Amino acid sequence: MHGFSNCSGVKADRELSVGKTVLLFFACLITGFTHAQTDWTVSFSPMIEQQPLELNQTYILKNDTFRIETLRFYLSNVSFLNEGKTVFTEPESFHLVDAEDSMSYRIAFHSPKNVVFDEIQFNVGIDSTTNVAGVMGGDLDPTKGMYWSWQSGYINFKLEGWNPKSTARKHEFQYHLGGYMAPYSALSTVRIPCGKAKSATVITVQLAAFLNQLNVVELPAIMSPSERAAILSQSIPSMFSAK
């Protein structure tokens, strides 16, 4: 508790000294509290093989040509583990990661305690409880373009773009993966190891792993909760890895 030594300098003039002591006391309290806290960040880096993702840029993968126009996904229930035990769970944990907004790539965490972790766990998407709880604000606001209006529920993961092989209009493809009800729940959990005691962790989102799974000839679009959406969602966790 450094800072307490300052308190010894209190002198006469009673009325003023009372005010000063109170102020100093609070100052000491604040410095005392801030001492043990931890601030750290987790950032996402979407990649296509070795190149960082740029929207509307053409990439060649194996025999396929791709252009990504939209990439947006929800991250929820983020927790940190150390040697297999949960050491920190973020309260009210909902984040929208949007390729159009590079600020959304970086998520800041704060804990009053000292947190050391070697694993990160999170859901890609929104849990069923939140899906039936009515309208939400912040990143969950329906204006974010991640809510189905005609059939209640959040879109967990949205990827839209262009591939000349696509059989859809203008050779576009649209994958809106979501669905919270059994048997077609599209929520996926990611648990990945990361280096210990880092103030900034970078998670690579390897889109090539997902793009290679797609069949844009037979199935250029998924727009509702379904078996196909649930199956494709299972390949989401394989995209994430920490450096």
The CB-based long-range contact list for 58-66 (8 Å cut-off, 24+ gap) reads 61/208, 61/211, 61/212, 62/212, 64/163, 64/165, 64/211, 64/216, 65/163, 65/164, 66/161, 66/162, 66/163, 66/211
Q: Exactly one of 52, 145, 164, 195 binds another protein (CB under 8 A); which one?
A: 145
Cβ 94 to another protein, closest distance in Å? 13
Cβ 201 to another protein, closest distance in Å? 31
Cβ 133 to another protein, closest distance in Å? 7
User: Residue 173 in contact with residue 181, Cβ under 8 Å?
Assistant: no
CA distances (Å), origin 113, targets 57, 121, 189: 43, 19, 26
Cβ 141 to another protein, closest distance in Å? 4
Cβ 124 to another protein, closest distance in Å? 21
What 3-state DSSP class applies to 118?
Answer: coil
Cβ 108 to another protein, closest distance in Å? 22
Residues 16-55 that bind another protein (CB under 8 A): 16, 19
Binding segment (CB under 8 A) for another protein, from list 43-51, 125-133, 158-166, 194-202:
125-133
Cβ 136 to another protein, closest distance in Å? 6
Q: Exactly one of 151, 169, 183, 199 binds another protein (CB under 8 A); which one?
A: 151
Main-chain phi, psi angles of 68, to 5 degrees:
-100, 125
Q: Exactly one of 132, 197, 200, 223 binds another protein (CB under 8 A); which one?
A: 132
User: Residue 56 in contact with residue 91, Cβ under 8 Å?
Assistant: no
| C-beta of 153 vs 220, nearer to another protein | 153
User: Residue 163 in contact with residue 216, Cβ under 8 Å?
Assistant: yes
137 binds another protein (CB under 8 A): yes
CA distances (Å), origin 197, targets 14, 130, 213, 240: 48, 32, 34, 20
- Cα–Cα distance for residue pair 90/190, rounded to 1 Å: 15
Please tell me the count of residues contacting another protein according to CB under 8 A: 22
Q: Exactly one of 73, 74, 147, 210 binds another protein (CB under 8 A); which one?
A: 147
Q: Exactly one of 8, 50, 149, 199 binds another protein (CB under 8 A); which one?
A: 149
| C-beta of 116 vs 133, nearer to another protein | 133
- Cα–Cα distance for residue pair 49/62, rounded to 1 Å: 11
Q: Exactly one of 131, 185, 188, 233 binds another protein (CB under 8 A); which one?
A: 131
| C-beta of 152 vs 167, nearer to another protein | 152
> Regarding beta strands 64-82 and 172-178, do their DSSP bridges make them parallel or antiparallel, or are they unpaired?
unpaired
Query: What does the binding site for another protein look like in residue numbers (CB under 8 A)?
Result: 15-16, 19, 131-137, 140-145, 147, 149-153
